[in-house]
Structure 1
Amino acid sequence: MTSSSSIVIVGAGVLGLCTAFELHRRGRSFLVVDPGEANASAVAAGMIAPAMEAAIDDASPERAALFRESRDLWPDFAQAAGIALARRPAEWRGGDAAVIAARMRALGFQASLNGDRVVTDEDYQVNPGQALAAMKAALSDAVMTGRVEAVRRTGGGWRVQTDRRALQTDAVVLATGAEGAVLGLPQAVRQQVAAIQPIRGQIGTMTQALAAHVVRGPGAYVAPMGTGVVVGATMEPGRRDTAPDAAAGERLVQAAWRVLGRTLEPLEIEWRAGVRGATADGLPLA
Structure 2
Amino acid sequence: MKLRSGARIAVAGAGALGSAVALRLAQRGFRVTVFDPSPGDANASSVAAGMLAPVSEALFDPASRNHLDIMKRARDLWPDFARVLGLGLERDGVRIEGSDAWRSEVASRLGALGEPAGAFIAEDWRIDARAGLLALRGAASEAGAVFRALAVCGFEAGVLELADGGEEPFDTLILATGPGLRQGEITPETRMLSPIKGQILRLAACDDDGAPVVRGEGVYLAPGAVLAVGATMEHGRDDLTPDLEATLGLRRAAAALRRDLDLESATVEVGVRVTTPDGLPLVGWSRTPGVMLAVGARRNGWLFAPLVADMVAAYLTGDNLGPDAAAMDARRFEKPKT
Kindly report which structure 2 residues correspond to 1:114-153, keeping only aligned pairs within 5 A, or say none.
118-140=119-141, 142-153=145-156
Distance 1:210 1:235, change over 3 A: farther
Are 1:200 and 1:274, in contact at CA under 8 Å, matched by a contact in 2?
yes
Structure 1 gaps of 5+ residues are 113-117
TM-score normalized by the length of structure 1: 0.84
Alignment identity in percent? 38
**Aligned amino acid, residue 33 of structure 1:** F
Determine the C-alpha separation between the residues in 1 that align with 2:255 and 2:32: 46
Q: Secondary structure at the match of 1:80?
A: helix
Structure-2 residue corresponding to 1:8: 10
Q: Give the C-alpha shift of residue 105 in structure 1.
A: 4.5
**Aligned amino acid, residue 276 of structure 2:** T
**Aligned amino acid, residue 219 of structure 1:** G
Structure-1 residue corresponding to 2:271: 274
Distance 1:71 1:79, change over 3 A: same
Structure-1 residue corresponding to 2:86: 82
Structure-2 residue corresponding to 1:258: 256
Distance 1:181 1:246, change over 3 A: closer
**Greater relative contact order (Cα 8 A, min sep 6): structure 1 or 2?**
2
Q: Give the C-alpha shift of residue 276 in structure 1.
A: 0.7
Q: Give the C-alpha shift of residue 39 in structure 1.
A: 1.8
Q: Give the C-alpha shift of residue 143 in structure 1.
A: 2.7
**Aligned amino acid, residue 145 of structure 1:** R
Determine the C-alpha separation between the residues in 1 that align with 2:130 and 2:227: 14
Q: Give the C-alpha shift of residue 15 in structure 1.
A: 0.9
Q: Give the C-alpha shift of residue 98 in structure 1.
A: 2.8
Distance 1:153 1:247, change over 3 A: closer
**Aligned amino acid, residue 150 of structure 1:** C
Any idea what the Cα deviations from partners look like across 1:20-60, whole Å, max 9, x if unmatched?
12223333332211213312111111111111111224678
Relative to total residues, which structure has the larger strand share, 1 or 2? 1
Structure-2 residue corresponding to 1:115: none
Structure-2 residue corresponding to 1:159: 159
Any idea what the Cα deviations from partners look like across 1:144-203, whole Å, max 9, x if unmatched?
22323433432xxx2112238533222110011232259963xxx2x3212210110101
Q: Give the C-alpha shift of residue 101 in structure 1.
A: 2.9
**Aligned amino acid, residue 282 of structure 1:** G
**Aligned amino acid, residue 221 of structure 2:** V
Structure-1 residue corresponding to 2:48: 44
Structure 2 gaps of 5+ residues are 1-5, 284-338
Are 2:203 and 2:262, in contact at CA under 8 Å, matched by a contact in 1?
no
Any idea what the Cα deviations from partners look like across 1:216-243, whole Å, max 9, x if unmatched?
11121111132x2011111111111111
Q: Secondary structure at the match of 2:277?
A: coil
Determine the C-alpha separation between the residues in 2 that align with 1:134 and 1:60: 27
Kindly report which structure 2 residues correspond to 1:23-62, keeping only aligned pairs within 5 A, or say none.
23-37=25-39, 38-57=42-61
Structure-1 residue corresponding to 2:189: 192
Q: Secondary structure at the match of 1:85?
A: coil
Distance 1:60 1:90, change over 3 A: closer
Distance 1:84 1:24, change over 3 A: farther
Q: After the TM superposition, which of the residue ranges 242-251 and 39-48 deviates more from structure 2?
A: 242-251
Does residue 97 (structure 1) correspond to residue 100 (structure 2)? The answer is no
Does residue 238 (structure 1) correspond to residue 241 (structure 2)? The answer is no
Distance 1:78 1:181, change over 3 A: same
Structure-2 residue corresponding to 1:285: 282
Are 1:33 and 1:148, in contact at CA under 8 Å, matched by a contact in 2?
yes
**Aligned amino acid, residue 168 of structure 2:** L
**Aligned amino acid, residue 46 of structure 1:** G
Determine the C-alpha separation between the residues in 2 that align with 1:73 and 1:236: 30
CA RMSD in angstroms, aligned pairs only: 2.5
